[in-house]
Amino acid sequence: MEDFHIISGTDNDEKKKGSFFKYVPVLVILLLAGIVVRNITLLQKPSVEGVQTESKESIRFDTPETSETLPDSISPSITTSPTLQPKGTGSPAATKTLILKSETKEDGFVTSSGLVGINTAIKIGDNGTDSYRGFVSFNLDDVPQGITISKGTLRIYQTKITGNPFGAHGAIKGDHIVFGTILNSDAYTVTPEKSAFATIPQSTSAGWKEIDVTKEIKTDISNALTRSQYRIHFGEEKVSKEGSENMVYFESASNSLGSGETPQLVVTY
């Protein structure tokens, strides 16, 4: 006698349900494993700044442009930084300039024969009879006491020449002298404090001529003198043939030649 087993639809459903729930834990584990692997991959993937542009052939990343271009090789450079003032010292004091004018009664010329010229042009050279020496004098009363002089410059204005003074007499020299408050004939031969300490630039053209007198004016102030005085003459003094003149003319304090460029002593402190 054969046994017959009748499997109802209900039994099949139950079996199917049992089979499904059997695999749920496996599915959960696989799902969790997939999430973990994906997170690890994202953490390890380098981030690239820029805009991603896709094409059929390749994928490229365009980084933002910068205004700075890096050279192929970087050469060393030196950067000069401003010197810092020590704390508490403040800003360095600005320099000041004082312009002294030559004294009218104390500049002019004196000749080898003793002729004194005041309120007239400063002349050096010769007139075929005598040699001429020029003089300028500056009152130091207006120089502030206790200052530190950084520079002194004597400026005289050459207005014209006659003959060939540089060919006849060579270069113009400057003496530092003391002759007092009156220009007289003794000034021609007075022994200088410093002889021929400077040479005036040689030129046949009109214009300013300058001499550095920083040491000389400092000496005058140190010696408590009221004047800073200078004698101007040629290095080779001689008298040309009679009737000829080899002379250089400079403007004097009296502006006798009308240039308006009177002698100056420029003091910087």
Domain boundaries, the chain: 97-268
The separation between CA 101 and the C-alpha centre of its own chain, rounded to angstroms, equals: 29
- Numbers of helices and strands, H then E, in the chain: 3, 14
Predicted pLDDT at 18: 53
Rounded distance, CA 6 to CA 13, Å?
14
54, 61 Cβ separation under 8 angstroms: no
Predicted pLDDT at 57: 42
142, 100 Cβ separation under 8 angstroms: yes
Rounded distance, CA 7 to CA 86, Å?
107
Quick one: fold of 97-268?
Jelly Rolls (2.60.120)
Residue whose C-alpha is closest to residue 246's, from 234, 255, 256? 234
> Structure pTM?
0.66
Can you spell out the DSSP letters for 196-239?
Answer: EEEEEPP-SS-EEEEEE-HHHHHHHHHTT-SEEEEEEEESS---
Predicted pLDDT at 56: 40
Predicted pLDDT at 28: 65
Predicted pLDDT at 79: 34
Predicted pLDDT at 88: 45
Per DSSP, 189 falls in state T
Rounded distance, CA 251 to CA 120, Å?
8
pLDDT digit string (tens) for the chain, length 269 residues? 444 444 444 444 554 455 555 666 666 666 666 665 565 555 554 444 444 444 444 334 344 444 444 344 333 333 344 444 444 445 556 899 999 999 999 999 999 999 999 999 999 999 999 999 999 999 999 999 999 999 999 999 999 999 999 999 999 999 999 999 999 999 999 999 999 999 998 999 999 999 999 999 999 999 999 999 999 999 999 999 888 999 999 999 999 999 999 999 999 99
